């Protein structure tokens, strides 16, 4: 546990200013994310150092397809989330609260950085599994020393965060995958219990900071698969973030509080075709063996740059810096 950053005191409690929920939290209660509690007028980050899972993952699993392809990265998460998506695939940890804390072991930032530093072939540290921003204090305490040790820091997030804490994260993060869950305010309100515009603001801020950014959209049948609305968001992505932003279209399966049937494969391939008219790096994920949306071809000359088979990755078409061997276009960030 640690005193939280980003809050102020008010007459009726403390006001958390980490995310747009802006919870006013009475003494003894916790905020909407269930892991930041008002204890006697101080906001406490209760999950500081409390790790729910930690292991090396292929970077493609985040998913990041254009950032050090084929690398392994030490990935960790805790409990809690500031959104409450009806279909959350990780609801057992994301929707859990501090009642479950005794089940988690404590790890110090030094321990985690040391482990990441001494693991053979490890690229860095990925904050993932639940929503990482809800333990921002722990992330910041790790990411600074990790950077000093030459490790990369990756954040896999819903992007629902206010500008001031986001700016602190931008200083120490190398790459983001942001979950763009839907394309309308209505979808966000009904399915995630949050709002769309702060997420778009986050994307703009990450792009302006020049950091590596990929997007994931979980496509849910009947809820966010309308081709006209999808076209609108593609236009926004291309015009605002750039056509070369990697976009991952992920297949939904019924879980938690949603029992709609799984996304039909033809829906994913249809949206993939639509996006590919404008964007060169569009992928299909969580859909088993799938020819379409799997490999990476150079946006300029079409050379096969990265070949993927499950989480096996080969990089036949790029040099050590991530440039196309045929035409010299930058396709991915890689070790030099």
**Binding positions for ligand SF4, rule: CB under 6 A:** 16, 18-19, 21-23, 31-33, 36, 82, 134
Among candidates 231, 227, 310, 311, which has minimal Cα distance to 267?
227
Q: Which residue is nearest to ligand SF4 (CB)?
A: 31
Nearer to ligand SF4, 8 or 259 (CB): 8
For residue 24, the minimal CB distance to ligand SF4 (Å) is 9
CA 116 – CA 176 distance, rounded (Å)? 19
239/243 Cα distance (integer angstroms): 7
3-class SS letters over 163-208? HHHHHHHHCCCCEEEEECCCCCHHHHHHHHCCCCHHHHHHHHHHHH
Q: How far is the CB of 97 from ligand SF4 (least distance, A)?
A: 11
Question: In the numeric block, which tokens belong to residue 167?
Answer: 């700016």
List of long-range contacts for 114-118, beta carbons under 8 Å, 24+ apart: 115/74, 116/74, 116/146, 116/149, 116/151, 117/149, 117/151
- 285 closest CA partner among 314, 254, 310: 310
Return the number of the residue (72 or 173) whose C-beta is nearest ligand SF4.
173
Q: Output the CA–CA distances (angstroms, integers) from residue 38 to 15, 139, 270, in the order listed.
A: 9, 21, 48
Closer CB to ligand SF4, 9 or 278, in the complex: 9
Smallest separation (angstroms) from ligand SF4 to the CB of 257: 19
| CA-wise closest residue to 189 among 82, 85, 96, 90 | 85
Contact (Cβ atoms closer than 8 angstroms) between residue 48 and residue 40 = no
Pair of tokens at residue 76 = 């960790």
CB 80, CB 58: distance < 8 Å: no
Report the residue number, 205 or 207, with the smaller CB distance to ligand SF4.
205
Q: Which tokens hold the place of 9?
A: 């005191």
Nearest to 94 by CA among 164, 167, 157: 157
CB-nearer residue toward ligand SF4: 33 or 96: 33
Nearest approach, Cβ of 46 to ligand SF4 (angstroms)?
11
Which residue lies nearer to ligand SF4 by CB, 199 or 318? 199
Question: DSSP assignment, residue 101?
Answer: G
Which CB sits closer to ligand SF4, 7 or 252? 7
Q: How far is the CB of 159 from ligand SF4 (least distance, A)?
A: 13
32 vs 130, which CB is nearer to ligand SF4?
A: 32
Residue 316 Cβ vs ligand SF4, minimum distance, rounded to whole Å: 43
Task: Give dist(CA 48, CA 141) in Å, integer.
Answer: 10
Taking the least distance from each CB to ligand SF4, the nearer of 16 and 143 is 16
- C-alpha separations of 203 from 21, 199, 252 in Å: 18, 6, 23
CB of 205 to ligand SF4, least distance (A): 17
């Amino acid at each position: 546990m640690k005193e939280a950053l980003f809050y102020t005191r008010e007459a009726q409690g403390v006001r958390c200013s980490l995310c747009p929920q802006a919870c006013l939290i009475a003494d003894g209660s916790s905020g909407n994310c269930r892991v930041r509690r008002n204890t006697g007028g101080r906001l406490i980050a209760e999950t500081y150092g409390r790790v729910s899972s930690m292991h090396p993952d292929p970077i493609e699993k985040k998913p990041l397809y254009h950032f050090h392809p084929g690398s392994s990265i030490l990935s960790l998460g805790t409990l809690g989330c500031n959104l409450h998506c009806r279909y959350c695939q990780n609801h057992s940890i994301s929707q859990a609260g501090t009642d479950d804390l005794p089940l988690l072991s404590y790890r110090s930032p030094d321990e985690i950085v040391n482990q990441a530093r001494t693991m053979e072939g490890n690229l860095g540290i990925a904050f993932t599994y639940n929503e990482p921003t809800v333990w921002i204090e722990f992330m910041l305490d790790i990411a600074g020393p990790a950077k000093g040790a030459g490790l990369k820091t990756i954040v896999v997030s819903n992007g629902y965060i206010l500008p001031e804490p986001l700016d602190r994260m931008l200083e120490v993060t190398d790459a983001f995958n942001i979950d763009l869950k839907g394309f309308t305010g209505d979808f966000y309100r009904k399915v995630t219990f949050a709002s769309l515009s702060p997420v778009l603001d986050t994307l703009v801020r990450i792009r302006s900071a020049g950091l590596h950014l990929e997007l994931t959209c979980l496509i849910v049948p009947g809820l966010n698969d309308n081709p006209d609305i999808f076209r609108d968001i593609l236009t926004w992505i291309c015009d605002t973030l750039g056509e070369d932003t990697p976009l991952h279209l992920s297949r939904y399966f019924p879980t938690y509080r949603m029992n709609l049937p799984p996304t039909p494969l033809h829906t994913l391939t249809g949206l993939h075709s639509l996006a590919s008219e404008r964007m060169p790096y569009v992928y299909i994920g969580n859909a088993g063996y799938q020819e379409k949306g799997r490999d990476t071809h150079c946006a300029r000359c079409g050379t096969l740059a990265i070949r993927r088979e499950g989480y096996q990755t080969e990089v036949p078409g790029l040099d050590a810096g991530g440039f196309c061997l045929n035409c010299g276009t930058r396709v991915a960030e890689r070790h030099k």
